Structure 1
Amino acid sequence: MVIFAAGLLGALLSRWLDWSLPAGAGFVAGCVLAVLTTRPADLLTLVVSPPLVFLVATALAEFLTSLGEESLLRGVTVGLLTSLATTAPWLFGGTLLVLLLSLPRGLPDNVRELRAKLARIRLFEEEENENPVRWEEAPASPGDRRLHHGDVD
């Protein structure tokens, strides 16, 4: 929510001022604030969410500022593509900053926990799906034997 609010506010200011700096700066500020205020157990979720949050905040800002135009669809599409193109470095920088600030706060521990949980689930599924009863096929009589595609009479 912090990243979304800061990103939306920055995107709206950027659109109203016709200057791309507030959109990027708001997003990066939201990313830093989110990393510093998120519980260490939730860092894994936070690390993967900034690009999606950035897209949603930018799209909403473009929609809100394009409401009075002749063609809403064209205004939103052109505005969204332009905004994403001009603020792409901020998006990459904010996402990288979230990752780097999350590392000392416990992100590697979260990744290890997730791997362990996935390994336990996979092990449980293998045991559950294993069939304990093996039905052996009756040996075929020599006359019923089918020839292998490499066998020649």
Structure 2
Amino acid sequence: MTVVRLLVIVSFIILIVACGFKLRGDHRLPAGYDVLHVEAMQNHAPLQRALVQRLDIYNIKLVERRDNANLASSILISLAPEKLERRLLSVFSTGQVAEYELILGVPYTVRFGANDVMDAYFEVVRDYQDDPDQVLAKSKELELVLSEMRREAADRIIRRLASQSSAVY
């Protein structure tokens, strides 16, 4: 009975590994690349700050400037300006907006080494309930929601980057 159990466990592990499954917390740069550089079209963009913070949390080596010495073994992430849209979901009986759908569009480009460039775009979506009677509290809540959306966007960029075993993006 124990041999059968051991055989089932081993075959299950082999099946999981064969399908490419890996734990989500395993964030490493693709093979052959040592360092990462992040640049944004806008200086000190909130998404750039969030991405740099998340890279630090995942212990991914980040360099300030990308020079010709490490060009072949580095990855450059260029962040385009994020696009924030608000879509109306519901209104109060008075005609004031009650609920929005916030859509954060994240366009960026990844350059592997000296030549392989990949463009990418995704959206992070959240619902946001507005209350015209509590403007100050709701504006602070909106800042927190946007900050959370940027953190999720940064994590998604890192996961996409870590999932690359070659320069195919």
The two structures share one fold, judged by TM-score above 0.5: no
Considering fraction of residues, name the structure with more helix. 1
Structure number, greater radius of gyration: 1
TM-score, normalised via structure 2 length = 0.26
Considering fraction of residues, name the structure with more strand. 2
TM-score, normalised via structure 1 length = 0.29
